[in-house]
Amino acid sequence: MVVAAADIGLLEVSTPDCVANDFDGEIVALNLSSGVYWSLRDLAAALWRDVTSGHNPLAIADRLAQINSELADESRLIIANLVNAGLLRPSSTSPVALEASETVARAEAGEIAFSVESYEDMKDLILADPVHDTEEHLGWPVVRNDNGVRA
């Protein structure tokens, strides 16, 4: 069943099907059932951290709407996609966020990029993340070579 953004309340990571980790600010999440990897950076990573620590995504969208309505729309769409991809699910508890929303704070500071990518071939991703051979500011999996940078 496809979940609409308006139906989403508090969320949690869909363990054990979903495994996720924070790599220097980038969230890499995988649905072990489907085998699809997701890379979340910038505001998308902040949004993941917010909703998995008890923030209500609808409340975040409302705050973002006061800054930029497009940011609010994008956050709703990303959350719906993450739920429909089996990475997040409605929370079985009622967590209370202890910190202010990182997404809102960063949007208030002028950030506008929600960077979301998904991949199905893990081998390319592994080869694209060798030791210190990744152009960090361009993001994974962009690989640097001797002649410059290629995607």
Partner 1 sequence: MIASALSGLARSETSRPSAHQLLDALEVFTARHAKRAHQVRVRVADLCIRLHMPSAVLADLYARRLGGAITNTGTDHLHFHLGEPSWAGSPDAAAFAYYQSLGPDFERLAGEAGLIGVVGRRDASNNPTEPCTLFNPRTGVGVQWVTALAHLPPWDAGSPFRLLIHWATAQRGMRMMHAGTLVSGRRAMLLVGQGGSGKSGTTLAGIASGLQTVGDDYVVVTADARPRVHRVHQLLKQDPAGIKRVLGPRELEEPSALNWQGKVEIDPELHFKGCMAESADVAALVLPRIAHADQTTFEPIRPQDLFAHAAASMWQQLPGAQKSGFVFATALTRRVPTWRMNLSSDPFEIGSAVRRFLDNGGP
In the stretch 92-131, what mask flags binding to partner 1 with x, by CB under 8 A?
------------------------------xx-xxx-xxx
- Which span (27-35, 49-57, 75-83, 95-103) binds partner 1, by CB under 8 A? 27-35
Q: Which of 4, 7, 23, 149 is in the footprint of partner 1 by CB under 8 A?
A: 23
Give the nearer residue to partner 1 in terms of CB position, either 48 or 60.
Answer: 48
Write down the number of H helices and E strands in the chain: 5, 8
How far is C-alpha 128 from the geometric centre of its chain's CA atoms?
20
Residue whose pair of structure tokens reads 């951290």 in the numeric block: 49
Please say which residue, 19 or 65, places its beta carbon nearer to partner 1.
19
**8 Å CB contact between 42 and 113:** yes
> What is the spatial distance between Cα 56 and Cα 101, in angstroms, rounded to a whole number?
10
Q: According to the binding rule CB under 8 A, does residue 30 interact with partner 1?
A: yes
Please report whether residue 140 would count as binding partner 1 according to CB under 8 A.
yes
The token pair at 58 is: 């609808």
Least gap, CB of 56 to partner 1 (angstroms):
27
Quote the tokens at residue 3: 């979940």
User: Is 25 an interacting residue with respect to partner 1 (CB under 8 A)?
Assistant: no
Binding to partner 1 (CB under 8 A) within 3-22 occurs at 15-17, 19, 21
